[in-house]
């Protein structure tokens, strides 16, 4: 008769341990299903009214964002967890799951909305729009390991408005989020100086680039601002890159 309480106690212990492990994940976003960048809501100066438009780019002045790093104790770890398929050909599409983990001792906030159009706001005077975005870009190094990596095509971003704390996810120490995105073994830059090579020992890294973007128009002056909040590089992820797939290797439906 005394075995029953022990059994129930063991079950409770196992369930408690499982619950504690599951509690470490704070959230998950699958950006391969849906995400949307916001449109411009403030028109550029009219050429009829402004024969000469003064265009500027602002950078380097961090705006007040709930996600701004707070040191000491603010530390995030960024890793690539999975690439599907595990072996890729040059030109292939792939999906990547990345993990952002709070390994510090203070709570960290990150943008967490998939629809940027729902978070962007225009100021009351109609002159400025603002939102925060966290992009993930992939870099691939093949062939000569001394040469620079190639930025790959990638899709997916998370958004928030700096004045709306509900747009962010709060990561407590020890907790993490997984994010799934699309990519392709194709150069993601308009002017590519590097090409991917077949390499059984290629290395892929992910780059978390979080910033506040502004667009301000006042008369004939237009300014685009990009204020960096946080940048993170993942640890290297080894994988095999093969040459472009032949027709026989491609999966073509009958």
Strands 199-218 and 237-242: antiparallel
pLDDT at 190: 85
| Average pLDDT score over residue span 62-83 | 78
Helix (H), strand (E), coil (C) string for the chain? CCHHHHHHHHHHHHHHHHHHHHCCEEEEEECCCCCECCCCCCCCCCCCCCCCCEEEEEECCCCCCCCCCCCCCCCEEEEEEEEECCEEECCCEEEEEEEEEECCCCCEEEECECEHHHCCEECCCCCEEEEEEEEEEEEEECCCCCCCCEEEEEECEEEECCCCHHHEEEECCCCEEEEEEEEEEEECCCCCCCCCCCEEEEEEEEEEEEEEEEEEEECCEEEEEEEEEEEEECCCEEEEEECCCCCCCCCCCC
**Would you place residue 144 in the very low, low, confident or very high pLDDT band (cuts 50, 70, 90)?**
confident
pLDDT at 4 over 70: no
Percent of the chain with pLDDT over 90: 68
Q: What is the pLDDT of residues 9-39, one digit of tens each?
A: 444 444 444 444 445 999 999 999 999 999 9
pLDDT at 73 over 90: no
Q: What is the pLDDT of residues 178-227, one digit of tens each?
A: 999 999 999 999 888 888 899 999 999 999 999 999 999 999 999 999 99
| Neighbour-count burial for 80-108, b at 16+ CB within 10 Å, e otherwise | beebeeeebbbebebbbbbbbbbebeeeb
pLDDT at 113 over 70: yes
| Average pLDDT score over residue span 128-136 | 95
| Lowest-pLDDT choice from 27-36, 154-163, 240-249 | 240-249
How far is 149 from 206, CA to CA, in rounded Å? Answer: 11
pLDDT at 167: 97
| Average pLDDT score over residue span 102-116 | 95
pLDDT at 32: 97
How far is 69 from 83, CA to CA, in rounded Å? Answer: 29
pLDDT at 100 over 90: yes
| Lowest-pLDDT choice from 15-29, 116-130, 146-160, 192-206 | 15-29
pLDDT at 61: 52
pLDDT at 62: 53
pLDDT at 66 over 80: no
**Would you place residue 48 in the very low, low, confident or very high pLDDT band (cuts 50, 70, 90)?**
confident
């Amino acid at each position: 008769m005394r075995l029953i309480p022990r059994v129930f106690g063991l079950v409770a212990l196992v369930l408690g341990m499982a619950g504690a492990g599951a509690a470490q994940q704070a959230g998950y976003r699958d950006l391969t299903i849906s995400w949307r960048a916001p449109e411009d809501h403030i028109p550029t100066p009219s050429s009829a009214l402004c024969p000469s438009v003064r265009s500027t780019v602002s950078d380097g002045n961090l705006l007040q964002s709930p996600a701004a790093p707070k040191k000491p104790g603010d530390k995030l770890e960024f890793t690539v967890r999975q690439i599907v398929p595990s072996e890729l050909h040059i030109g292939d599409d792939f999906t990547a799951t990345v993990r952002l983990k709070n390994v510090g001792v203070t709570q960290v906030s990150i943008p967490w909305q998939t629809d940027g159009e729902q978070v962007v706001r225009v100021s009351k005077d109609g002159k400025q729009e603002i939102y925060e975005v966290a992009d993930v870009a992939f870099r691939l190094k093949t062939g000569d390991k001394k040469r620079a990596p190639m930025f790959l095509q990638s899709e997916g971003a998370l958004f928030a408005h700096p004045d709306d704390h509900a747009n962010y996810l709060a990561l407590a120490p020890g907790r993490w989020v997984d994010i799934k995105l699309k990519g392709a073994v194709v150069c993601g830059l308009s002017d590519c100086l590097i090409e991917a090579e077949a390499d059984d020992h290629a290395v892929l890294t992910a780059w978390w680039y979080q910033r506040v973007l502004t667009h301000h128009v006042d008369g004939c002056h237009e300014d685009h601002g990009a204020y960096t909040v946080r940048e993170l590089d993942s640890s290297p992820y080894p994988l095999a890159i093969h040459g472009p797939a032949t027709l026989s290797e491609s999966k073509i439906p009958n």
